[in-house]
Amino acid sequence: MLAGKPVVVTPAGSFKEIIKDGETGIITKTFSTKSLAESIEKVLDDAELFKKISSNAKKDAEKRFSLKLWIKQTENTFLEVAK
């Protein structure tokens, strides 16, 4: 996402919490390789969708997963533990 590329994932684990389907990535309907391949083809064949997801994903990742944010959260954790 930070690289500004569309992400295609299966509906496993915490992907549903990170990816907004159709906005910041594509979440396949099933866990099958066929569903994954179809979703990859969908985003590669639709230039507008590719561009939209890429842009949205990068902005979202920069906001939620930046190094600056991670450092601040780590600092806050250390300060809390030190109390």
Q: Give the model's pLDDT for residue 23.
A: 95
Residue extents of the structural domains in the chain = 8-82
Tell me the DSSP string of 52-64. HHHHHHHHHHHHH
Q: Was domain 8-82 assigned CATH 3.30.420.40?
A: no
Asked if residue 38 has pLDDT above 90, the reply is yes
Query: Is the pTM for the entire model greater than 0.95?
Result: no
Q: Give the model's pLDDT for residue 65.
A: 83
